[in-house]
């Protein structure tokens, strides 16, 4: 029996144990100022917002999605220029930009307001001159999460600096939002390599795969979003994808951003388009070029057309005019229709469920990764005991077992019979980590009922865990679910 059980105190949680290990590691490196300050920064991060890397293919819409998630126009998004350096968007009471060289020297760039133009100019620096930009913004959207945009996977910046810069960002992020328009071999390889690190093998890095720019799926017309949903479903069922990404969903960041910025003037312009006969309108919007170069109606100049297209995309313009033509096109309704099309709310919910609710485990994972890196890069005599502690935390924490079993269930490596599969996924936290969600109960369920249902689940999974008819893989899986049930009972 553990000492905690004797005293009746709750044993320290995983994050608390990881934090204690980090502090002990710091005492070993007191005489090495660089390592010590690096570790101190990691310690401070535990109490800062969760760090999410927004990575993926070049031009997959990373910057646009960051703006949509933050609800502000910060990240420069362009059709031609590429984001070349790691750019961190974090909460700060005053707007501030700090540029870091590859050797870690920081330079404060004076700014009074933040705009994509200023950030774009700094991003044009060569990666060997500026390795990272840190943008402090008072946007409320950054209070709970910090977003880190990396150069696109397989972009020239990543090729120049090798994959190490990208790999480093992934070791610094607590979770990953990976964007791609169509999953491809390169994406799978990238996600696979991110999971090959020792810590990641034991404690898989939480990843959401977003099929981005979803409004352009197929021909990019009104059936784009249903088509994107279908593609997402196919990938969700693809074992190789599912073993790396816990969640696959379509998103159109541009529409999310447009929903936030749509103005009454925009609606007036769209209403002019909506007055055209349906066939003419459809023809006009067959391609972006046709729309911009047309003089129908004459009152809309090319610059306005270009601006509308840039901000709403062809799908957004078409959908908004159709809604107006159908009589339901006031500003409020258009905004909510664009927001619904963007699927931004679904993505935000997934980020909440998969990342924010699991933040204790995710932060603990990041801390362990940092300790591991230091112990490897700079081994010290006497540090064996730290390594032992590290191995113990990595091996024993139930949180990793949950994540790994979920991955195995998702990838089809382990398959439980019939309804047990979904029940197990739910209990392991696939649909949210809160007690109620794990037990599949509503928010109005009483504490007594929660306890009853947790007790029933416990009995059921104990039977499965000891069922001689099951093979050892299934019994082992059932044992992991059983431990999750025990924790639900403990509250
Ligand atoms: N239709 C549509 N276009 C989008 C969407 N998201 C981004 N775009 C467009 O795609 C282009 C690239 O968008 P960015 O947000 O800069 O993409 P990125 O991944 O940050 O690009 P890099 O950092 O340069 O690799 C821009 O022209 C955007 O307007 C979207 O959801 N729908
Ligand atoms: Mg970008």
* 435 and 326 part of one domain: no
> Is residue 278 assigned to a domain?
yes
Q: Is residue 374 part of a domain?
A: yes
pLDDT digits (tens, 9 = 90+) for 1-19: 344 444 445 557 889 999 9
Q: How many domains does the chain have?
A: 3
**Helix (H), strand (E) at residue 26:** helix 14-28
Among the atoms of ligand 1, which is closest to the Cα of residue 212? 31
What's the 77 CA to ligand 1 centre distance in angstroms?
A: 6
Residue 277 confidence (pLDDT): 94
- 25 shares a domain with 68: yes
**Residue 480, exposed/middle/buried by CB under 10 A (0-12, 13-18, 19+)?**
buried
pLDDT one-digit tens code per residue, 297-337: 999 999 999 999 999 999 999 999 999 999 888 999 999 99
Question: Which residue reads 């920081």 in tokens?
Answer: 106
On whether both 304 and 379 belong to a single domain, the answer is no
How far does residue 60's CA lie from ligand 2's centre (Å)?
Answer: 8
| Same structural domain, 74 and 133 | yes
Q: How is the beta sheet containing 132-137 ordered, strand by strand? A: 106-109, 96-100, 132-137, 86-91, 145-149, 50-56, 175-180, 206-211, 247-250
The residue out of 394, 413, 432 marking a domain boundary is: 413
Q: Could you tell me what percent of the chain has a pLDDT over 70?
A: 91
Q: How confident is the model at residue 159 (pLDDT cuts 50, 70, 90)?
A: low
- Give the closest residue to 369 by CA, choosing from 201, 213, 214: 201
- Model pLDDT for residues 412-467, shown as the tens digit of each residue: 778 888 889 999 999 998 888 889 999 999 989 999 999 999 999 999 999 999 99
Residue 464 domain-assigned (yes or no): yes
Domain boundary among 358, 388, 413: 413
Same domain membership, residue 94 and residue 158: yes
User: Is residue 268 domain-resident?
Assistant: no
Q: With 80 as the cut, is the pLDDT of residue 154 above it?
A: no
CA distance 373 to 367: 10
Most informative mutation of 254, 312, 314, 341 for ligand 1 (most atoms within 8 A of CB): 254
Please report the pLDDT score of residue 161 as a whole number: 53
Look up the domain containing 320 and give its range.
273-336
Residue 328 and residue 347 share a domain: no
What is residue 158's predicted lDDT score, i.e. its pLDDT? 55
CATH classification of the domain holding 394: 3.40.50.300
Instruction: Give the C-alpha separation, 424 to 461, whole Å.
Output: 9
């Amino acid at each position: 029996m553990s000492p905690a059980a004797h005293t009746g105190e709750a044993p320290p949680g995983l994050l608390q144990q990881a934090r204690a290990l980090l502090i002990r590691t710091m005492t070993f490196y007191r005489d090495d100022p660089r390592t010590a300050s690096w570790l101190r920064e990691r310690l401070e991060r535990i109490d800062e917002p969760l760090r999410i890397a927004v990575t993926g293919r070049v031009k997959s819409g990373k910057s646009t999605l960051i703006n949509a998630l933050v609800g502000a126009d910060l990240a420069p998004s362009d059709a031609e220029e590429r984001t070349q350096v790691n750019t961190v968007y974090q909460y700060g009471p005053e707007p501030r930009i700090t540029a870091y060289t590859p050797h870690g020297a920081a330079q404060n760039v004076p700014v009074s307001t933040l705009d994509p133009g200023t950030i774009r100019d700094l991003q044009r620096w060569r990666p060997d001159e500026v390795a990272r930009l840190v943008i402090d913004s008072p946007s409320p959207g950054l209070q709970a999460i910090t977003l880190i945009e990396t150069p696109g996977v397989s972009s020239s910046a990543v090729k120049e600096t090798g994959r190490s810069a990208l790999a480093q960002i992934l070791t610094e992020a607590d979770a990953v939002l990976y964007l791609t328009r169509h999953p491809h071999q390169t994406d799978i390889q990238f996600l696979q390599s991110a999971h090959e690190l020792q810590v990641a093998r034991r404690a898989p890095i939480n990843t959401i795969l977003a099929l981005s720019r979803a409004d352009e799926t197929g021909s990019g017309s009104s059936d784009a979003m249903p088509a994107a949903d279908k593609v997402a479903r196919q990938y969700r069922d693809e074992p190789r994808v599912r073993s790396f990404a816990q969640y696959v969903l379509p998103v159109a960041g541009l529409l999310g951003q447009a929903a936030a910025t749509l103005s009454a003037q925009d609606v007036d312009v769209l209403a002019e388009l909506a007055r055209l006969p349906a066939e003419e309108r459809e023809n006009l919007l067959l391609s972006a070029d046709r729309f911009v170069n047309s003089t129908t109606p004459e009152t809309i100049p090319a610059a306005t057309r270009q601006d509308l297209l840039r901000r709403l995309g062809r799908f957004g313009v078409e959908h908004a005019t159709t809604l107006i033509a159908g009589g339901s096109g006031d500003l409020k309704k258009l905004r909510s229709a664009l927001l619904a099309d963007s699927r931004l709310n679904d993505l935000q919910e997934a980020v909440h469920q998969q990342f924010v609710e699991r933040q204790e485990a995710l932060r603990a994972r990041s801390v362990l990764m940092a300790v591991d890196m230091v112990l490897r890069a700079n081994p010290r005599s006497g540090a064996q005991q730290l390594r032992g502690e590290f191995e113990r935390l990595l091996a024993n924490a139930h949180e990793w077992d949950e994540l790994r079993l979920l991955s195995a269930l998702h990838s089809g490596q382990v398959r439980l019979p019939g309804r047990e599969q979904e029940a197990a996924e739910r209990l392991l936290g696939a649909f949210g980590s809160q007690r109620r969600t794990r037990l599949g109960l509503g928010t109005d369920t009483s504490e007594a009922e929660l306890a009853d249902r947790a007790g029933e689940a416990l009995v059921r999974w104990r039977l499965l865990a000891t069922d001689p008819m099951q093979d050892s893989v299934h019994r082992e899986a059932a044992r992991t679910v059983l431990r999750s049930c025990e924790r639900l009972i403990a509250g």
